[in-house]
Amino acid sequence: MATHTLPGATTENYLNSEDGILSWLLTTDHKRIALLYTFSITALFFLGGTFALLMRLQLLTPDGALVDLETYNKLFTMHGIIMVWFFLIPSIPNTIGNFVLPMALGAKDLAFPKLNLLSWYIFMLGAAVALYSIFRGGVDTGWTFYTPLSTGYAMGYVVMAAIGVFISGFSSILTGINFIVTIHRMRVPGLTWFRMPIFCWSMYASSLIFVLATPVLAITLVLVSLERIFHIGVFDPAYGGDPLLFQHLFWFYSHPAVYIMVLPAMAVVSEIIPTFSRKPLFGYKAVAYSSMAIAIVGFLVWGHHMFVAGMSVYAAMAFSFLSYMVAIPSAIKVFNWTATMYKGSIELSTPMLYAIGFVGLFTIGGMSGLFLAAIGIDVHVTDTYFVIAHFHYIMVGGSVMAFLGGMHFWWPKISGKMYPEFLGKLSAITVFLGFNLTFFPQFILGYFGMNRRYGSYAPEFQDLNVLSTAGATILGVGYILPLVYLIWSWKYGEPAPDNPWRTTGLEWKTPSPPPKHNFEVTPVVAWKAYDFEAQREELHLG
């Protein structure tokens, strides 16, 4: 059935099947496109991280000595714009998702391979425009572009940055369409919905958000740009407009967007934990339904970003209640991951360290979100470092760690090489420690009232800020290490077998790296997901 190649044999695979730069720039192979994206978002991640580092250096001292305050505004704005739209949103879906999803379904490629390549070019165009706005002098409105600051008073290249984001939105939309159609129509015979790995369910849920939420952001940015250019618009109180309308439309996208950032991360974790517990995922259907529930209920909660903005208190109460509801499916997933590990045969490999770290840090971040969902508490901690800690626990402690875990997990399949395990574990621990040192103090700072988006602060906050900056440098080291050794392993790593982790999933039944068309013979699936028992012999589980 599956072809087994000896590691080290140079068979024809998707990397060497064609040569030359054009074979990469004009490829329609989902695996090559995944690598194009990986290259792009990694570069953008380090750019966004550089802005973060500058911010943390500024905050070493209370008087804001490093940069002037207007520059500081630009730093946190560009950090947010790059990290949200040009790293987090595309990261797992367009790298790991692009690579793994068709293979996990047994397919030869996505439904629309040319559209996939177009997605990447659109993404690069959007990034180029946004970067141009940075190099021309930047934007200082915050990544949230609130009116009337963005439409009337901000200095800086607001429209240009908005256009960059607008363009990149179409990349998201095309990816979402591609994934949804692929999952509906291109599963191989026998692969029913409830036999799909949870990775696919979560990618599907994320794709629903891509297609339903992103267009609203697109038109909202157009409206902001029109108002800024023509000095008249729908958000302008002088004409009866409502600045809060902008916030409603913006957060209608941006809250589900955070679930775009976390659902793929959960997808990765749902593959890693069963593998290194040598046990099927506990409560498969509950996790599958929870993925869908997170996507759907996530559309109903956006008003919790606007509790203090002047919204009706009755609307606020509705949004608060719904925000508590959305935590439930996430909690279900955490319980199920934990139950998967219970009495499992745990191997603390690098991906598993990242996955376990995800579960802990996501839980802390999620629970701090419950604090914020309470209007009474939110009134005190909104726009403080408490909120910053909350979302960084989820997006960095969660999504970035899951991204790194996933890159390590699928690295043998993608590159055909093993990464150095010791360095992998060392980096995972460095990232975990550095992350917590950076962001835990920020919960305390926020609780005691340190404002976000301020380049200076009251002197009593300095100690915790120094700790946070120290953590940030450790975190930076933790990110640079994998960059170095993964690139090193591409050339010098030990050749990888087909299935180094001896796990289930159709992608592991191909050689590492896979051939261009993934499967020589179309697989037929006759087993449940994570069915280690049924495949005991084939996986040499003993």
Partner 1 sequence: MAEQSLALREQFATPEQQRESATLGMWIFIVTEAMLFGATFAAFAGYHHWYPAAFNRGSSEMELTMGAVNTAVLICSSFTMSLAEYFAARGKPRFVWFLVLTALIGMLFLGIKFTEYYMHYKDHKLPGFGFQDSSPQSRQVQLFFFLYFVMTGLHSVHLLIGIVLVLLMLIPALIYIDENYSTPIHNISLYWHFVDVIWVFLYAIFYLPGAHLK
Partner 2 sequence: MRVAETSLRSIVITWLGLLALTLTSSLIGLLNLGSMNIVIAVVIASVQAFLILGFLMHALYGQALVRVVIVGGIIWFLILMTLTSTDYLTRGWLLPSGK
Report the distance separating Cα 360 and Cα 347, nearest Å. 17
Footprint (CB under 8 A) of partner 1, residues 439-468? none
CA 235 to chain centre: 31
Element (H, E) at 167: helix 158-185
Q: How many CA atoms lie within 13 A of 78 on its CB side?
A: 32
Residue 299 touches which of partner 2, partner 1, none (CB < 5 to 8 A by kind)?
Answer: partner 2
Q: Which residues pair with 384 in a beta bridge?
A: 451
Q: Based on CB atoms, which residue is closest to partner 2, 74 or 304? A: 304
Rule CB under 8 A: is residue 239 a binding residue for partner 1? yes
Q: Which residues neighbour 12 within 8 Å (Cβ) at sequence distance 6 or greater? A: 515, 516
Q: How far is the CB of 208 from partner 2 (least distance, A)?
A: 8
Q: Do 233 and 273 contact (CB within 8 A), yes or no?
A: no
Rule CB under 8 A: is residue 366 a binding residue for partner 2? no
Report the distance separating Cα 222 and Cα 210, nearest Å. 18
Rule CB under 8 A: is residue 374 a binding residue for partner 2? no
Rule CB under 8 A: is residue 135 a binding residue for partner 2? no
Footprint (CB under 8 A) of partner 2, residues 318-337? 318-319
> Residue 402: which of 84, 78, 98, 93 has the closest Cα?
93
Footprint (CB under 8 A) of partner 1, residues 192-221? 211-216, 218-220
Q: How far is the CB of 108 from partner 1 (least distance, A)?
A: 5
Report the distance separating Cα 498 and Cα 413, nearest Å. 7
With CB under 8 A as the contact rule, the residue among 299, 358, 362, 439 that binds partner 2 is 299
With CB under 8 A as the contact rule, the residue among 84, 88, 130, 173 that binds partner 1 is 173
Q: Based on CB atoms, which residue is closest to partner 2, 246 or 440? A: 246
Q: Based on CB atoms, which residue is closest to partner 2, 169 or 505? A: 169
Residue 220 touches which of partner 1, partner 2, none (CB < 5 to 8 A by kind)?
Answer: partner 1
DSSP conformation letters of 224-269: HHHHHHHS--TT-GGGT--HHHHHHHHHHHHHHHHHHHHHHHHHHH
Q: Based on CB atoms, which residue is closest to partner 1, 141 or 175? A: 175
In which residue are the tokens 């261009």 written? 516
Report the distance separating Cα 244 and Cα 351, nearest Å. 43
Binding string, residues 83-122; x marks residues near partner 1 by CB under 8 A: ------------------------xxxxxxx-x-------
Q: How far is the CB of 298 from partner 2 (least distance, A)?
A: 11
Rule CB under 8 A: is residue 311 a binding residue for partner 2? yes
Q: How far is the CB of 292 from partner 2 (least distance, A)?
A: 12
Rule CB under 8 A: is residue 234 a binding residue for partner 1? yes
> Residue 198: which of 269, 259, 256 has the closest Cα?
269
Q: Do 224 and 145 contact (CB within 8 A), yes or no?
A: yes
With CB under 8 A as the contact rule, the residue among 4, 185, 380, 536 that binds partner 1 is 185
Amino acid, res. 528 = K
Report the distance separating Cα 445 and Cα 430, nearest Å. 23
Q: Based on CB atoms, which residue is closest to partner 1, 89 or 268? A: 89
What six digits make up the tokens of 448? 């005691």
By CB atoms closer than 10 A (0-12, 13-18, 19+), residue 472 is buried
Q: How far is the CB of 204 from partner 1 (least distance, A)?
A: 12
Sites of contact with partner 1 (CB under 8 A)? 107-113, 115, 173, 176-178, 180-181, 184-186, 211-216, 218-220, 223, 226, 230-234, 238-242, 245, 249, 252, 517, 522
Q: In the complex, which residues of this chain contact partner 2 (CB under 8 A)?
A: 184, 212, 216, 244-245, 248, 252, 299-300, 302-303, 311-315, 318-319
